[in-house]
Chain A
Amino acid sequence: MVQNNKVITAKELTKKFGAFTAVDKISFEVEKGEIFGFLGANGAGKTTAMRMLCGLSLPSSGEATVAGYDVYKENELIKKNIGYMSQKFSLYEDLTIKENIRFYAGIYGLSDEKIKEKTELLVKELHLEGEEKTLVRALPLGWKQKLAFSIAIVHDPAIVFLDEPTGGVDPITRREFWTLIYEAAERGITIFVTTHYMDEAEYCNRVSIMVDGRIDALDSPANLMKTYSAGSMDEVFLQLARKASRSE
């Protein structure tokens, strides 16, 4: 089903809200196992594009496949094969760590045995031993985000979509978070991540930069820096984002 190792393909994908074009004919491909950075200023259309790929929002026009499935017709099949971590923290705060893992693993159809195994693994990985019965509400933000990520990939999806996963998190936790991302990528999970941190952009295999709903640049961070003769991804981003005509 997945042809030429392309797990995501988008062709002229567009989303309009009335007269406003949030995403304007974007085309790109993401390969299996890749860490794909999806950059852009606030309001550039990143989240909208991501929501279309996840089957949360119906595209206005264009084509796209995710994990080999069509976003128009096979959106429920896509959902079986992806993980998603939204900008808004979305674990149940009034459930414990263990209960959250159990719930999300359960609704993706994992067996009781597998759930138990995954729970132990995850708790160990996140160094949460002894905290299994703590309510998620009581965890510090950084831990919550790491937990949310681990739960988003608890069912070993082909792709995981991360929408600004490290917003508001301290630098140490961010680094730990990226360690988790690398580990997931090594297991063959494709990572599709939006971020505002340019140091994080440099961790990605390839990066696209969205300006006003269009993808203005797409390449590896090293090549982008060369093309725009910039010393850092920061400069690349500023050069491109300054051209934006629409603001938040």
Chain B
Amino acid sequence: MRVLKFLLQKELRQIFRDPSILKILFIMPMVQLLILPLAADFEIKNINLGVVDHDHSEYSRKLVTKIISSGYFRLKDYSPSFREGLHSIELDKTDLILEIPAHFERDLVKENQSTLLVAVNAINGIKAGLGGAYIQGIIQDYNQGIRAQWIQQPRLLPQPTIEVSFSDWFNPNMNYRVFMVPGILVMLITIIGSSFASNNIIREKEMGTIEQINVSPIKKSQFILGKLIPFWLLALAVLTFGLLLARIVYGIVPLGHYITIYIFASIYLLAILGLGLLLSTYAQTQQQSMLVSFFITMIFNLLSGLFTPIESMPEWAQVITRLNPVSYFIEVMRMVVLKGSGLADIKTHILAMLGFAVFFNGWAILNYRKRSG
């Protein structure tokens, strides 16, 4: 225990003596939390619309006006033929063409039906999918309007229609930030946890001071704990800072208890720090460890459910997310922040995380050799 005290004292002194570490630790979360949630928004806006209007009628103009006034589309091109409309897609001037056939108004009034063509540039899949869906919704709405205008709704013979009404639970305003900010915070402390401790050990390797440690009677577990505890505290400090920012800047107050978040984060950090320590037992230089931890955290973050829902991933990818500690924490964060889940609700998550922690740290201790072969 006494040895550990000296190790911790030394480690904390070194950390607080290095102003760059502290700056990175607190500026990084600020920038990420202030910029990312505003920029990384899934709502598609500013879709560039091209219109090919063969009808030039009042109805066609009304339709276009309605589409533009929705706020999602910008009228960028008005071509006389579909061929020319397509050309402006090729030039990347427009994302979507709406072709209104000749006699659109006449057909609609006389024959009660007409056909519109929507052509979407699907290079950006998300934009294409959502853009198509939006315009379809608007056209349907427009259609309803015309029906109401022309067909005298017979009150006694209501049309059998199913209307679906949505009620968004847990995030009633579908506030995108409430959903993203906790996730980004998880990503952040993952990066800090996985790279800071491992870089610290590798620095000792590079400086040669680790030899001096290895030739002393310090036990492996003491050495690893001595590296783990300071960065564990530091990451919890960053988490606190991030939660404060979320509260002050975005007004995000968890429905559940902060204490639930901290309990889970404490175990989570043990696992992530263990992974970093494991990495450091293999890597010889800081470049090596940086590259590997960059690679791992990238995969962890992409397969964490932060950006894309896990449920819509292919089965094999879903299996991988079960092996990804980040996905557990993101889920827990959202459960606690949005749903107000308590410890009982995240029991399985806690158990899984304890498993990760034991696995990574155990492997790191086994693989750390005071004596080379």
Interface residues of A (CB under 8 A from B): 54-58, 75-76, 79-80, 82, 84, 86, 88-95, 99, 102-104, 106-109
Contacts and interface: CB of A to CB of B under 8 A. Distances in A.
Interface in B224-267: none
B217 A76 contact: yes
A120 B370 CA distance: 31
Given A57-B371, A99-B10, A107 B216 contact: yes
Nearest to B5: A106
Per DSSP, are chain B's interface residues mostly helix, strand or loop, or mixed? helix
B218 A58 contact: no
Contact of B218 (A90, A92, A94, A107): A107
A151 B211 CA distance: 14
A20 to B, nearest CB: 14
A41 B372 CA distance: 24
B371 A56 contact: yes
B235 to A, nearest CB: 21
B96 to A, nearest CB: 59
Contacts, number: 76
B9 interface: yes
B2 A103 contact: no
A54 B214 CA distance: 10
A54 B213 CA distance: 12
A188 B214 CA distance: 24
A95 B217 contact: no
A163 to B, nearest CB: 10
Q: For B14, B212, B218, which residue has the most chain A Cβ atoms within 10 angstroms?
A: B212
B295 interface: no
Given A58-B371, A58-B373, A106-B2, 17 more contacts: A54-B215, A56-B211, A57-B371, A75-B371, A82-B215, A84-B211, A84-B215, A90-B208, A95-B10, A95-B17, A102-B6, A103-B10, A104-B212, A104-B216, A107-B6, A107-B7, A109-B3
Nearest to A76: B217
B65 interface: no
Interface in B1-37: 2-3, 5-7, 9-10, 13-14, 17-18
Contacts of B371: 55-58, 75
A91 B212 CA distance: 8
Given A94-B18, A106-B5, A106-B6, A88 B215 contact: no
A92 B3 contact: no
A21 B6 CA distance: 39
Given A58-B371, A108-B217, A88 B211 contact: yes
Nearest to A84: B215
Nearest to A105: B6
8 A-B pairs with least C-beta separation: A106-B6, A88-B208, A84-B215, A90-B212, A79-B217, A80-B217, A103-B10, A90-B208
A56 B216 contact: no
Contacts of A88: 207-208, 211
B70 interface: no
A103 B204 CA distance: 15
Nearest to A83: B215
B211 A79 contact: no
